[in-house]
């Protein structure tokens, strides 16, 4: 599946730019009469009438005062003598913005003094210079997912006894891959708690059958495992898939791409013409911010000595395999996924508890520093595609707005909250943001910017200076 994507600029999707010029007020109309003090725009400049004017156009220096360059337009309604306005409503009159202090009808804003119903807010000015989408949530430099394979293999119960509690203690999440045909009651109970704690459950097939085996049954192993999970976990269905032994031929991979509910999978090693395995599933290791294929998610495998890892030589030199992968993601601005099995148990290449805890403390520190976003693989996939397909546009008015194009099927399929980075116009400008009438939390960022998480399907976001 090849998807048409938006173009990135310096690692982020540029949505709109706006110079620091004021917004253009009402356009000059030939033949209209303008009392002294009226604000209009003409040829991308704002002007104020020096005296009463009838017919003369700017830039006649004796009649019009040039207020400088302007851009954009005002989206507020013109004042209507017959309309009712309640407290807080804003209108345009003679090029200026007025706000009602209380209920009013028929009272001319220009004739409203300091103690009257209308407050003159002056000429409109944009609050935001430009907006760009953040490559990763909350402006993090990289994303990271830990995938624990073989839940329900019984020898991996360290995932239940050690991994999950350690994650919860630190407020972190991971993903757990279930072999659904071997799950006992304890595993289903644990999976329910994993989900309640914010972790992800993914499919690792029903019986852990090699996809190149003669016994492979795509319907049973891919769809069947999803049905098992839904039956035991209150309708929850996995959206990510991991191949047993990380091997798959072309036909099983093609089947997964069309299987209901799945949006991605771990990249499998390929099958050669002679039936042998070409171990290239994790080639490249770090996934770029623009994910090329969600069913070919690159990964690195945990082993005790770094065997088969891209970091093997660094591990031999004393580096920590788990932390090296995170560092690479941050340096490259990409997404790292780590394949593990059990923790402090009898599973294959079980992670020692001490090393696991040290790693969790390491990524917790990176996350707290704003460098790393730790999430399940499906959350990351949804974010990357929602970021690109739910195209956002900045419209600059007195209250700037960001709207989203939700018409594409990809936007609807992957829609999830995304992070926008807002750049305030004033050097010390503070912003507020609202969506569907609800105030949104803004996180201070670098260079007079803020990050805000928004739902593209929830409507436009209004931005204003505080």
CATH code: domain of residue 251: 3.20.20.370
Same domain, 215 and 346: yes
- Does the residue 176 lie in any domain? yes
**What's the start-to-end Cα distance of the chain, in Å?**
45
- Does the residue 376 lie in any domain? no
Q: Minimal CA–CA distance to 47: which of 75, 72, 24? A: 24
Between 361 and 427, the higher pLDDT residue: 361
pLDDT tier, 12 (very low <50, low <70, confident <90, very high otherwise): very low
- Does the residue 3 lie in any domain? no
Same domain, 36 and 94: no
Same domain, 33 and 63: yes
Same domain, 104 and 212: no
CB 429 within 8 A of CB 450: no
Torsion (CA) 299, 303, 309, 311 in degrees, nearest 10? 110
Between 168 and 249, the higher pLDDT residue: 168
Per-residue pLDDT at 31 exceeds 60: yes
- Report pLDDT for 135: 94
Last residue of a domain, one of 369, 392, 421: 369
The CATH code of the domain that includes 93 is 2.10.10.20
Q: Which residues contact 60 (CB under 8 A, 6 or more apart)?
A: none
pLDDT digits (tens, 9 = 90+) for 448-460: 789 999 999 999 8
Last residue of a domain, one of 334, 369, 404: 369
Same domain, 309 and 405: no
Between 223 and 438, the higher pLDDT residue: 223
Per-residue pLDDT at 361 exceeds 90: yes
Same domain, 174 and 209: yes
Q: Which residues contact 290 (CB under 8 A, 6 or more apart)?
A: 5, 8, 384, 388
Helix (H) or strand (E) holding 106: none
Full DSSP string of 376-428? -HHHHHHHHHHHHHSEEEEE-SSSEEEEEE--SHHHHHH---EEEEEEESSTT
- Does the residue 166 lie in any domain? yes
pLDDT tier, 17 (very low <50, low <70, confident <90, very high otherwise): very low
- Does the residue 118 lie in any domain? yes
Same domain, 241 and 312: yes
Per-residue pLDDT at 141 exceeds 70: yes
pLDDT tier, 121 (very low <50, low <70, confident <90, very high otherwise): confident
Helical H runs in 263-320?
312-316
Lowest model confidence (mean pLDDT) among 126-130, 255-259, 421-425: 126-130
pLDDT tier, 148 (very low <50, low <70, confident <90, very high otherwise): very high
- Does the residue 375 lie in any domain? no
360-371 in b/e burial notation, b at 16+ Cβ within 10 A?
Answer: bebbbebbeeeb
Which residues form the domain of 265?
Answer: 141-369
Strand partners, 255: none
- Report pLDDT for 3: 42
Average pLDDT over all residues of the chain: 86
- Report pLDDT for 4: 38
Q: What percentage of the chain reaches a pLDDT higher than 90?
A: 57
Residues in the chain: 466
Same domain, 289 and 406: no
- Report pLDDT for 212: 84
Q: Which residues contact 219 (CB under 8 A, 6 or more apart)?
A: none
Per-residue pLDDT at 15 exceeds 80: no
Per-residue pLDDT at 384 exceeds 60: yes
- Report pLDDT for 60: 72
Collapse the DSSP code of 152 into the 3-class scheme (helix H, G, I; strand E, B; otherwise coil) and give the result. Answer: coil
Same domain, 424 and 293: no
Per-residue pLDDT at 1 exceeds 60: no
Per-residue pLDDT at 466 exceeds 80: no
Rounded mean pLDDT, 13-18: 37
CA angle (367, 187, 378) in 5-degree steps: 40
- Report pLDDT for 86: 85
pLDDT tier, 396 (very low <50, low <70, confident <90, very high otherwise): low
Per-residue pLDDT at 427 exceeds 70: no
Same domain, 220 and 335: yes
Per-residue pLDDT at 85 exceeds 80: yes
pLDDT tier, 20 (very low <50, low <70, confident <90, very high otherwise): very low
Rounded mean pLDDT, 34-62: 78
Same domain, 259 and 231: yes
pLDDT digits (tens, 9 = 90+) for 308-320: 898 999 999 999 9
Helices (H) and strands (E) in the chain, counts: 11, 32
- Report pLDDT for 88: 73
- Does the residue 374 lie in any domain? no
Collapse the DSSP code of 363 into the 3-class scheme (helix H, G, I; strand E, B; otherwise coil) and give the result. Answer: helix
Same domain, 61 and 91: no
Last residue of a domain, one of 125, 155, 188: 125
- Does the residue 377 lie in any domain? no
Count of domains observed in the chain: 4
Q: Minimal CA–CA distance to 144: which of 167, 178, 161, 160? A: 167
CB 158 within 8 A of CB 148: no
264-291 in b/e burial notation, b at 16+ Cβ within 10 A?
Answer: bbbbbbbbeeeeebeeebbeebbbbbbb
């Amino acid at each position: 599946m090849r998807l048409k994507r938006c173009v990135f600029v310096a690692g982020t999707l540029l949505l709109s730019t706006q110079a620091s010029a004021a917004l253009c007020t009402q356009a000059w109309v030939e033949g209209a009469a303008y009392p002294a003090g009226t604000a209009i725009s003409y040829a991308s400049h704002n002007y104020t009438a020096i005296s009463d004017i009838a017919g003369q156009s700017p830039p006649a220096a004796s009649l019009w005062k040039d207020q400088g360059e302007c851009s954009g337009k005002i989206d507020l309604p013109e004042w209507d003598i017959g309309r009712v306005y309640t407290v807080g409503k804003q209108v345009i009159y003679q090029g200026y913005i007025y706000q009602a202090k209380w209920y009013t009808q028929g009272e001319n804003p220009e004739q409203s003094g300091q103690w009257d119903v209308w407050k003159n807010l002056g000429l409109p000015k944009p609050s935001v210079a430009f907006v760009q989408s953040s490559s990763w949530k909350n402006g993090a430099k990289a994303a990271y997912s830990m995938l624990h394979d073989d839940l329900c293999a019984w020898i991996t119960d360290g995932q239940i006894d050690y991994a999950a509690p350690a994650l919860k203690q630190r407020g972190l999440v991971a993903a757990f891959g279930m072999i659904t045909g071997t799950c006992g009651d304890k595993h289903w109970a644990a999976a329910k708690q994993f989900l309640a704690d914010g972790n992800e459950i993914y499919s690792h097939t029903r019986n852990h059958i090699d996809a190149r085996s003669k016994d492979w049954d795509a319907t049973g192993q891919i769809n069947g495992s999803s049905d098992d999970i839904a039956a035991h976990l209150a309708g929850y269905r996995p959206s990510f898939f991991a191949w047993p032994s990380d091997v798959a031929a072309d036909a099983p991979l093609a089947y997964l791409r069309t299987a209901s509910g799945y949006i991605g999978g771990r990249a499998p090693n390929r099958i050669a013409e002679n039936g042998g395995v070409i171990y290239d599933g994790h080639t490249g290791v770090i996934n770029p911010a623009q994910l090329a294929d969600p069913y070919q998610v690159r990964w690195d495998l945990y082993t005790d000595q770094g065997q088969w890892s891209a970091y093997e030589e660094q591990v031999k030199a004393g580096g920590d395999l788990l932390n090296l992968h995170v560092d690479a993601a941050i340096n490259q601005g990409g997404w790292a996924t780590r394949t593990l099995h059990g923790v402090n148990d009898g599973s294959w290449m079980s992670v020692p508890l001490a090393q696991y805890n040290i790693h969790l403390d390491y990524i917790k520190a990176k996350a707290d520093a704003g460098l790393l976003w730790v999430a399940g693989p499906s959350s990351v996939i949804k974010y990357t595609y929602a970021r690109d397909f739910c195209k956002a546009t900045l419209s600059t008015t007195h209250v700037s707005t960001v709207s989203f194009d939700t018409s594409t099927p990809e936007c609807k399929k992957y829609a999830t909250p995304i992070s926008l980075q807002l750049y305030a116009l004033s050097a010390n400008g503070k912003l507020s943001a609202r969506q569907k009438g609800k105030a949104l939390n803004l996180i201070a960022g670098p260079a007079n910017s803020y990050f805000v998480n928004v739902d593209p399907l929830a409507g436009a976001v209004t931005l204003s200076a505080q």
